[in-house]
Amino acid sequence: MRYNQLGNTGLFVSELCLGTMTFGPSGQEGLYHDIAGMDQATADSIVKCCLAAGVNFFDTADVYTHGHSERMLGQALKNLGVPRKDVVIATKVFNPSGSGPNDRGSSRGHIMDSVEASLERLQTNYLDLYQVHANDPVTPIEETLRAFDDLISRGLVRYIGVSNWSAWRIAKAQGIAERCGFSRFQTVQAYYSIAGRDLEREIAPMLTEEKMGLMVWSPLAGGLLSGKFGPGSASEGRRATFDFPPVDKDKAWSCVAAMRPIAENHGTSVASVALAYVGILADRDHRFWSIVTDHSGAS
| Catalytic positions | 64
Report how far residue 177's alpha carbon sits from residue 182's, in angstroms, rounded to the nearest whole number: 5
Rg value, the chain, Cα: 19
CB of 20 closer than 8 Å to CB of 44: no
Give every CB contact of residue 74 below 8 A, 6+ residues apart in sequence.
Answer: 121, 122, 123, 124
Give the Å distances, CA to CA, from 18 to 87, 107, 181, 216: 11, 28, 32, 11
Give the Å distances, CA to CA, from 174 to 58, 160, 162: 25, 12, 11
Beta bridge partners of 59: 19, 90
Strand 213-217 and strand 157-163: pairing?
Answer: unpaired
Q: Hey, what amino acid is at 113?
A: D
Report how far residue 147's alpha carbon sits from residue 160's, in angstroms, rounded to the nearest whole number: 11
Beta bridge partners of 161: 131, 187
Looking at residue 239, what DSSP letter applies?
G
Report how far residue 77's alpha carbon sits from residue 84's, in angstroms, rounded to the nearest whole number: 8
Question: What DSSP string describes 30-65?
Answer: STGGGS----HHHHHHHHHHHHHTT--EEE--TTGG
CA-based end-to-end distance of the chain: 19
